Amino acid sequence: MTTSNTADKLLTPEEAVACLRSGMTLGIGGWGSRRKPMALVRALLRSDISDLTVVSYGGPDVGMLAAAGKIRKLVAAFATLDSIPLEPNFRAARQRGAFELMEVDEAMFMWGLHAAANRLPFLPVRAGIGSDVMRVNPGLRTVTSPYEDAEMFVAMPALRMDAALVHVNRADRRGNGQYLGPDPYFDDLFCEAADTAYVSCERVVESFEGSVPQSLLIKRHAVTGVVETPNGAHFTSCVPDYDRDEAFQKMYATTPWSEFAERFLPPGGDEKQYQSAVQVWHEEQK
C-alpha cells in the first residue's frame, strides 16, 4: 500500500521549536520523570522563546523551564522526579515567586484535557471542592447537576493549548505514534487538546506491521510534526527502550542550574552535543 500522498512531517528539534512562539500555552506529555519529550524541551531551552504557559504532569520539563525563566504560568497538580520526590528547580522557582501557578488536582487536570480534546468548555468533576484548590484558583466555577440529585461539582475548564510536545517509542513520518511501555500517560489527549502537536520518538518506522493494535496511541490527524530523537526522553524513562538515568537525574537534582546548563545546554549546542556530553559524564563516573 502506498503512502506517498500523505504529508511527510519529519522535523529536527530546532525546526519543531521554530514553530513555537513566546507567550504560547504549551502542553508537555509524559508524567513526572517518565517519557518526557526532553529533546524538544532542550531545544526550547536553547531558543529565545519565553513567557510560556506550561501545562504538565510535571517533571524535570517543568523544573528546567522554570529554572531558565521561561514559564510565566504553570498549570499542574505536582512536579516530581519520582525517585526523587521533590523537583529542586521547581521548588526554587516557586519559593522565589518566579511564575503564576494554577494548582489543580490530577483528576481535574485530566478532565481539563478531556474537555479540550472534546471541544467542551468544561467537564464536571467531583474533586476540588472542600480543598484549597478552590481558594487559590478563584476563577474556578462549580456546576449543579440538572437532574434530581442536584449535586454540585467543579466545572473544570478545558485546558486548550496552542501546542503539545510528547515523546513516544515509535512514530511514522506521517505522525502516527506508538508507545511500547505499560502506560500511555495522557499523550494522545495532549495532542488532541492542542492546536498543533509535535511528537518526538526514539525511532521513525516505515510501518507498524505486526504491532499490538492498542499500542498505536497517537493518530496523525492530531499531529503537526514528527521528530526522531534517540534517547530523547533522557534522563526520564522511556521503557522498554530505556529506564530512567537515575545517576544522571541525581546529579541534575544536586547541581546548581547554571552549572548544569553551562555543561549540558551550552549556547550553540544541539541534541547531539547534549547526548555526547551525557556520555562523557557517564565515562567520568566510572
Partner 1 sequence: MTTVTEVTRAEYSVIACADAWRGDGEVLASAMGGLVPAFGARLAKRAFSPDLLLTDGEAMLVGLDGAVEGWLPYRQHLAFVTGGKRHVMMGASQLDRFGNMNISCIGDWARPDRQLLGVRGAPVNTLNNAVSYWVPRHSTRVFVEKVDMISGVGYDSAAAAGPSATRYHRIPRVATNLAVLDFASPGHAMRLVSVHPGVTVEQVQEATGFPLVLPENGVPFTREPTPEELRLIREVIDPEGLREREVGPA
Whole-number minimum distance, CB 132 to partner 1, in Å?
4
Length of the chain: 286
Answer yes or no whether residue 159 interacts with partner 1 by CB under 8 A: no
The piece of 21-29, 106-114, 157-165, 198-206 that touches partner 1 (CB under 8 A) is 106-114
State the DSSP code for 121. S
Query: Which residue from 20, 38, 40, 108 is in contact with partner 1, where contact means CB under 8 A?
Result: 108
Query: Which residue from 27, 29, 37, 128 is in contact with partner 1, where contact means CB under 8 A?
Result: 128
* List of residues 6+ apart from 211 with CB closer than 8 A: 178
Query: Which residue from 14, 18, 118, 126 is in contact with partner 1, where contact means CB under 8 A?
Result: 126
Grid look-up 557517564 returns 282
Answer yes or no whether residue 107 interacts with partner 1 by CB under 8 A: yes
Question: What is the β-pairing status of strands 161-171 and 194-204?
Answer: parallel
Query: Which residue from 47, 73, 105, 162 is in contact with partner 1, where contact means CB under 8 A?
Result: 105
Answer yes or no whether residue 162 interacts with partner 1 by CB under 8 A: no
Tell me the C-alpha distance between 141 and 163, whole Å. 25
Tell me the C-alpha distance between 164 and 146, whole Å. 34
Residue 270, classed as helix, strand or coil, is: coil
> Which residues on adjacent β-strands are paired with residue 194?
161
What is the footprint of partner 1 within residues 55-74 (CB under 8 A)? 58
* Residues at the contact surface with partner 1, assessed by CB under 8 A: 31, 58, 76-80, 85-86, 90-91, 94-97, 103-108, 110, 125-133, 135-136, 151-153, 181-186
